[in-house]
């Protein structure tokens, strides 16, 4: 049974995963096409007096197109044993493959957003894009520009207002 928890209840686990194999970023477009990709960069915290999950998505990702369409996303914390799925979702594009079908993942409509979450993931965030901005190369320090953007494809930063965080009862036992 998935229940709503405090927005920062899984802050430590979320940050640990962001430094490791990553998280699933799920999105869906207007036509209902569902997709997920792996993210390794993100920030969770407070701004404008509200809880936010910031994700950085390059325009070349299919996910970018879907978030632009829906204005919503979910972020799912993987369960132990989902490392190969994270690898697959971080190297294959939803333009070419239905990742949910290929990996036998279950998409379930969110409680507060139309975008689904992944049932096999024990914790998920539901977010609405409250602000977005394209990275301005000239405003980024030289070293980061060189290290992270040799081919351009500068991220769009999506500030996702956290509408809800939902967790399974046994979530802490199932996280990596």
Ligand X SMILES: Cc1cc2nc3c(=O)[nH]c(=O)nc-3n(C[C@H](O)[C@H](O)[C@H](O)COP(=O)(O)O)c2cc1C
Which residue's CB is nearer to ligand X, number 39 or number 162? 39
Query: Taking CB under 6 A as the rule, does residue 116 contact ligand X?
Result: no
Cα 153 from chain centre:
18
Which residues make Cβ contacts (< 8 Å) with residue 89, sequence separation at least 6? 24, 36, 37, 38, 99, 103
Question: Shortest distance, CB of residue 91 to ligand X, whole angstroms?
Answer: 5
- The residues in 68-97 that bind ligand X, with binding defined as CB under 6 A, are 90-95
Query: Taking CB under 6 A as the rule, does residue 29 contact ligand X?
Result: no
Which residue's CB is nearer to ligand X, number 123 or number 169? 123
Query: Taking CB under 6 A as the rule, does residue 15 contact ligand X?
Result: no
Query: Taking CB under 6 A as the rule, does residue 37 contact ligand X?
Result: yes
At 104, list the tokens: 């036998």
Angle at 46 between CA 131 and CA 65, to 5 degrees: 30
Query: Taking CB under 6 A as the rule, does residue 164 contact ligand X?
Result: no
């Amino acid at each position: 049974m998935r229940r709503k928890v405090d927005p920062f209840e899984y802050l430590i686990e979320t940050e640990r995963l962001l430094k490791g194999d990553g998280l699933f970023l799920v999105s869906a477009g207007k036509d209902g096409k569902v997709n997920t990709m792996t993210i390794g960069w993100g920030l969770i915290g407070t701004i404008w007096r509200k809880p936010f999950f910031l994700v950085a998505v390059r325009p070349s990702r299919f996910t970018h197109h879907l978030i632009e369409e829906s204005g919503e996303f979910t972020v799912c914390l993987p369960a132990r044993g989902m490392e190969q799925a994270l690898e697959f979702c971080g190297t294959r594009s939803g333009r070419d493959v239905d990742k949910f079908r290929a990996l036998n993942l279950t998409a379930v409509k969110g409680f507060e957003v139309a975008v689904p979450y992944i049932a096999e993931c024990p914790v998920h965030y539901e977010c609405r894009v409250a602000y977005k901005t394209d990275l301005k190369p000239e405003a980024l320090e030289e070293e980061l520009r060189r290290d992270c953007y040799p081919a351009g494809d500068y991220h769009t930063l999506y500030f996702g207002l956290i509408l809800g965080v939902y967790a399974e009862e046994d979530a802490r036992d199932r996280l990596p």
